[in-house]
Every structure is written in C-alpha cells, then in structure tokens.
Copies of this chain bind each other. A is one copy, B any other.
C-alpha cells in the first residue's frame, strides 16, 4: 500500500512522492473538474484505470490529506470523494500540465484514445475569451457522443464550461472531438469544420465571439 519514496529532501521530489504515481494526477484532475464525485463516476471519467488502482489512489490521496471522502447526502446512500483545500491547491499544477500538453493535442487523438467533453473545461476557461463583453449572455452546446456540455459566456469577458446539456442553447455543435478542439482552438474555421463532419445549429456568429484571437495550437 505504501507509495515508494524518492528519498530526496527536495520539494519537487516530496511532491512527486505524493502525486507522482501513475493515475494520481488524473484522479486529481477529475476532482478539480467537477467537485465531489462517486466512485463509479470517477471510474467512468477515467477510462482505462483498474478498479483496485482507483481505490488505492483514493486511499493514498486521503492519507496524504489531498482527498476527503464525505458521507453521502440522504437521498442516495454512498460516499463522495472530494478535494481538501490542500488538494484544491493542486489546480495550478494540473493547469500547467495541461498547458504544456496543448501542442500534443494538435495531432488529434491517437487510435483508440478516449474522450470526455468535460476535459475541455480547463482549455475553455484558459484560451477562450468573450470579445463582446457587453453583449447578451449566450450558450453553446457541444456534443461529441459521450456527454453534452455547455460553453457559456458569463459576464466580465470570461468563458466557462458547464458539465450539463443546455435547455435552449444559442448554438449547438456536433462533431468528433478533434474537430471540436480545432474549432475552439481557432485553427479550424466553420467551413473546414463542416467538411470534417461538424453539424452546427443556431447562431454561428457566436463562434467568432469566443474563439481565441490567435490560434492556440500550430496546425
């Protein structure tokens, strides 16, 4: 059960002693992206992880003070896993990891790669911006087969991603993950995207309102 230590009196090594094991930071990513979750939902959001590993990681993170398992609220009797304050302080690290990985998204998913729409949460809040801050509130629904999510321009020029379908989105996009990513990154315009199978329905001008000024990834 013990995670092997690097045995170095160095802050970087000490961190890796806690979050350096395989899958650990991806578990943290999930908990950062959507608050307290059930075991099964975590398992679903982490395609490929073995059940025993997820349990082991959660226990390890709990021992390290990163995760806290709360008793469930009355309606459903189950345990929820959430981040402690210490755990939430890992957000800059995970975001940094995401930033460094952006160039590797350009090639598109590898054969057999899994995809979950809510993984777009960090990229959306980091790279998209509302170019018309005084414009009306608006929502864009994204569908890629797995789950529907909603890009919302909230006040102040910032853009966020909600992990739920939208009742009446101003624009609805349906396409494969790499096309969605390309459009949001500003490297694929609507015409190209359509050729790649994108279906758009609604106010397409919204895309230009939120798309990044300069392409985020090269090609």
Contacts and interface: CB of A to CB of B under 8 A. Distances in A.
A92 interface: yes
A112 interface: yes
Interface string A106-131: 00111011111001001100000000
Given A20-B25, A22-B20, A25-B20, A98 B8 contact: no
Number of copies: 2
Contacts of A219: none
Contacts of A26: 6, 8, 12-13, 16
A6 B48 contact: yes
A25 B96 CA distance: 14
Nearest to A113: B9
Nearest to A107: B14
A7 interface: yes
Counting chain A residues whose Cβ lies within 8 A of the other chain, the interface size class is 35 or more
Contacts of A196: none
A185 to B, nearest CB: 11
A15 interface: yes
Contacts of A114: 7-9
B112 A15 contact: no
A14 B104 contact: yes
B6 A109 contact: no
Interface in A19-66: 19-20, 22-23, 25-26, 29, 47-48
A19 B89 CA distance: 21
A14 B90 contact: no
